[in-house]
Amino acid sequence: MFLLYSNACGLHNPETEILSGKPVPYLESPERMKRIISHLLKDDRTKGWTWIDVDSDDMRHNVMLPNISEAISRVHDAGYVEYLEHAYKSWVEDGGSKAGVVPETFPHPSLLSTASQETTRSKTLSPLAKAGLYCFDLSCPITANTFESAIAAVRVALCAASHLISIETHPKTTARPPTGAFALTRPPGHHAGSAVCGGYCFFNNAAITARYLQSEMSREGKNEECKVAILDIDYHHGNGTQEIFYEDPSVFYVSLHAQGDYPYLTGATEEIGRGPGAGFNVNIPLPQHTTGNKEYLVAMKQAATKIEEFVPQWLIVSLGVDTYKDDPICNFQLTSECYVDIGREIGRLGLPTLFAMEGGYCLDALGTNVAGVLSGFEAGTPE
């Protein structure tokens, strides 16, 4: 198992967010990353795993590292990326709070019913107006260091993918199980759409990685059609990932999530994809409050079967552990033991797998639960 991280991922550090109408301390804090690293370093199950700091001199001087801007452009709208890069500076210069960019107006369909598209996407819009165009909630304050952290998260994910490619495409002299890599991505990504942030997410790390894998395989002539599966096990539905691949039959997206919870308007079983992508989007919503280990593992087996039927070359796991019973903002009842079983189920698929960190906000159990999934994956991988 490879574990990749960047200290720059901790620079994004808003003071507050609005949750259920109240200002609260920002839950998706840098402390999450610190807790995960601290636990993985001392957990006996992780001995022998390889740690990689993507900011190290060796990594920075590696000419084979992915082109981050090019990779992002395969997924995200150019205007959105430009906005994220300059949003904070423009906001402050226009008199906005130095605490961060937070929208005060959202482009509701009724508001836009008589507005011209040229006006709503005009570069002359004020920073206050643009904030609502490119964000769908109040959990994504853009601070002075947000863009740097978001870029660092993408770099971590792409470096993890690059390592998987170098190992999996190298001639095998002896039989060995498929490789696993854990990208400690922060900010997370699965709520970020092609041109919008929300739910703590700015760039969709999993989606960018999927497109990177496909691009590299095409460039090397390894696969006529590189098929990637994305398994999303965060408590919340990955609306951004679903939107990005909704019409694409080459990326299979399956999500296990809470029914009727955030982001509230997506994640129904009827959402199966569109056009050529029809049938390649699977949502498995589970009831809040009553979903425990047994119920979740049944759904996991269902998701695994769907992935096997797709026959992908690569698997990306959007790894959220906010399904834990004591998570402060979620309502499932999973225990720490269940995460080992989840990892085993993923490992049994026998695919080269990249885990990209998403949610999980119970700090005391965060590292334990992440280690459980990763160690379970190694235990479940076929020899």
Sequence-distant (≥ 6) Cβ neighbours of residue 298 within 8 angstroms: none
Q: For residue 326, report the phi and psi dihedrals to the nearest 5 degrees.
A: -105, 15
Calpha distance 359→367 (Å, rounded): 12
Calpha distance 260→283 (Å, rounded): 12
Region 224-232 average pLDDT: 93
**Per-residue pLDDT reduced to its tens digit, 100-133:** 999 999 988 888 888 776 666 666 788 888 999 9
**Whether pLDDT at 173 is above 60:** no
Calpha distance 281→252 (Å, rounded): 6
**CA distance readout (Å), 28 to 131, 141, 185, 237, 260:** 20, 11, 12, 17, 21
Q: For residue 318, report the phi and psi dihedrals to the nearest 5 degrees.
A: -80, 100
- At residue 59, the pLDDT reads 78
Q: Which domains, ranges and CATH numbers included, belong to the chain?
A: 2-74+145-380 (3.40.800.20), 78-133 (no CATH)
Region 281-303 average pLDDT: 98
Task: Determine the longest span between alpha carbons in the chain, in angstroms.
Answer: 65
**Whether pLDDT at 379 is above 60:** yes
Strand 314-319 relative to strand 16-19: parallel, antiparallel, unpaired? Answer: unpaired
Kindly state the helix (H) or strand (E) to which residue 278 belongs, with its residue range.
none
**Whether pLDDT at 294 is above 70:** yes
The answer to whether residues 241 and 206 touch, using CB atoms and an 8 Å cutoff, is yes
- At residue 172, the pLDDT reads 64
- At residue 46, the pLDDT reads 92
Share of the chain above pLDDT 70, in %: 93
- At residue 120, the pLDDT reads 67
**Per-residue pLDDT reduced to its tens digit, 355-377:** 999 999 999 999 999 999 999 99
Radius of gyration of the chain (CA): 20
**Whether pLDDT at 63 is above 60:** no
Region 152-181 average pLDDT: 86
**Per-residue pLDDT reduced to its tens digit, 343-356:** 999 999 999 999 99
**Per-residue pLDDT reduced to its tens digit, 77-92:** 999 999 999 999 999 9
Share of the chain above pLDDT 90, in %: 84
- At residue 257, the pLDDT reads 99
191 is an active site residue: yes
**Whether pLDDT at 64 is above 90:** no
Query: In the chain, where does DSSP find H-type helix?
Result: 30-42, 57-60, 68-73, 78-93, 109-112, 117-120, 127-133, 146-168, 205-220, 239-245, 293-310, 336-347, 363-380
Residue of 191, 236, 237, 257 marked active site:
191
The answer to whether residues 195 and 80 touch, using CB atoms and an 8 Å cutoff, is yes
The CA-to-CA distance between both ends of the chain, in Å, stands at 15
Confidence of residue 31 (pLDDT cuts 50, 70, 90): very high
Q: Choose from 42-51, 60-69, 264-273 the range with maximum mean pLDDT.
A: 264-273
Q: Which two tokens stand for residue 330?
A: 């979620």
- At residue 278, the pLDDT reads 99
